[in-house]
Amino acid sequence: MNLLQSGGGKESYRSQPINHRTGGGVEMRVLVACEFSGIVREAFAKRGHDAWSCDLLPTEIPGQHIQGDVLPLLNQNWDLMIAHPPCTYLSNAGACRLYPQKGTLNIERYKKGIEAKEFFIQLYNSPIEKICIENPVSSKVFNMPKHSQEIQPHQFGHPYSKKTRLWLKNLPILKPTEIINIYTPFLPAGTSRKDKSKYGAKDCAHESKSRSKTFQGIANAMAEQWG
């Protein structure tokens, strides 16, 4: 399959393995699935890797980006995939909508959560040697696979808490790079959301996009430790 990227940069998608060296390390073909920000992609690109992002949305940072469905790309000889599958219907933060009344399950939302889990599993079972899938804490009803570790932005130089889980395949645990001891919630749940001065994602109009972006410190750590 030969795909054209839509975010600027190179005009063609390379499907052959790369085996030459750059900067003392082996250049890898890196797929950043479900990323429109370009943050993780560019962190790997700056270290000399052939990194591509893919999302249904266009890229916010010009670079090697494929706008569309990521599933057809999974068998294209990638060395590493960092994936950020949609979590809206899986996240425990939405439990109040999943159970609008105590003991009553919102069937439509549950079905969407099951679809999101199936997409997650497709990514995790893809034929890529090294895989990292990132998601927040999910509702127990979805019985997600056991995660490898939990990380926080304040472990990577950002003064926020936002618990994130990583599912790793053939990758070492991501080590903290800069621990911040004083921090605030990035996106609190419940009524505390009304006071925007107390958390990091202050732009409510674009809150969903803001909370889905990878923190730069975490992206840098991924590229430095896994690249």
Q: Tokens 């749940």, residue?
A: 189
Q: What local confidence, expressed as pLDDT, does residue 143 receive?
A: 83
Q: What local confidence, expressed as pLDDT, does residue 207 receive?
A: 58
> Is 21-226 a CATH 3.90.1150.10 domain?
no
- Which DSSP string do the residues of 90-112 spell out, in sequence order? TBGGGHHHHSSBTTB--HHHHHH
Inter-CA distances, 86 with 4, 20, 55, 118, 130, Å: 24, 34, 11, 11, 20
Which tokens sit at 225? 């430790």
Q: What local confidence, expressed as pLDDT, does residue 113 receive?
A: 85
Characterize the bridge pairing of strands 80-83 and 160-161: unpaired
Bridge partners (DSSP) of residue 52 are: 31
**45 touches 64 (CB < 8 A):** yes
Q: What is the pLDDT of residues 125-150, one digit of tens each?
A: 999 999 999 998 887 887 889 999 99
Half-sphere exposure of 223 (CA within 13 A, CB side): 23
Phi, psi of 116 (to 5 degrees): -65, -40
**169 touches 131 (CB < 8 A):** yes
**134 touches 82 (CB < 8 A):** yes
Which tokens sit at 93? 């933060």
Phi, psi of 101 (to 5 degrees): -130, 145
Q: What local confidence, expressed as pLDDT, does residue 142 receive?
A: 77
Q: What local confidence, expressed as pLDDT, does residue 199 receive?
A: 52
| Regions in the chain scoring below 50 on pLDDT | 1-24, 190-193, 203-206
Q: What local confidence, expressed as pLDDT, does residue 214 receive?
A: 95
Q: What local confidence, expressed as pLDDT, does residue 1 receive?
A: 35
Q: What local confidence, expressed as pLDDT, does residue 105 receive?
A: 76
Q: What local confidence, expressed as pLDDT, does residue 94 receive?
A: 58
Cα distance between the two ends of the chain:
25
Q: What local confidence, expressed as pLDDT, does residue 88 receive?
A: 76
